[in-house]
Amino acid sequence: MLKENLEIVGGVEIAADIQQRIKTTGVRGLSLEKAQELGVFQRIANLLCVTHASIMAAYRVYGGVDYLIDQLNARKNEIAHEMNMFDKAFDRFVKFWTGYYANGKSGKEVNYETENLYHRIMEWMQMPETWQFGEPQRTECDKDLAIKIDMPNDRIFTFYKAELNHETVDSKETWGVFCYNPKTDNQTSVNTNMDKASAMMVAKRLSAENPDCVYSASIIRDVVEKRTEVLPFKAFRNNETVGKITSVSK
């Protein structure tokens, strides 16, 4: 599921490019200074970053189609023409709007962002990332699957576990220091149960002693929550049972 946020990389630099492009083109009645003050160019840049990441991830998904077409030896005539047109349109979009974002110094981060989004899309759509002829088309749902019932026009409706409310009953904050090792791509805890000043001081000192790693002074928040869940057990239509709970996620 799409739970964690993704960073937008290169938005500031793209905003300057967007402003320059619009300034060069010329838009009647537009005040560049006012638009910049109101954040218009930054908003456009952020949206283009999201657009680029989405299209790149979709293009990665499309790669599965491209692979199967090759496996079937079906890249002929109209099929080949349309696939080539799609490739050319994609390349033109990237070159026009996102030269810095896609190819500049942020390229590595952009590739990671796209890769991460691709995995999340495939998980969200319950699509296996690797697939061989004859294998199941969908992955198992990791949500709390409750009841599936048949609907008209060959549709299937699924009742999932619902959450009515979610409130914080109590919370406690302390500080700690964590170490990120770029070589292993792992983060480990160094110190906990600290105050803010101590965490900042220790993180800074350790970063000087070990410059190959990144040390963070972090808030550690213990939260006690209360929530109400609804888990459908049986479904009825016209005084008849049409479905009952089948499985619950692990």
Please report, for the chain, the start and end positions of each structural domain, with discontinuous segments joined by +. 11-124, 165-228
- Is 237 strand, coil or helix? strand
For 94-150, the pLDDT digits (tens) are: 776 666 555 554 556 667 778 888 888 888 777 888 888 888 887 765 555 567 777
pTM confidence score: 0.54
For 200-247, the pLDDT digits (tens) are: 999 999 999 999 999 999 999 998 988 898 878 888 888 888 776 654
187 pairs with which residues across the strands?
180
3-state secondary structure 167-217: EEEEEEEEEEEEEEECCCCEEEEEEEEECHHHHHHHHHHHHHHCCCCEEEE
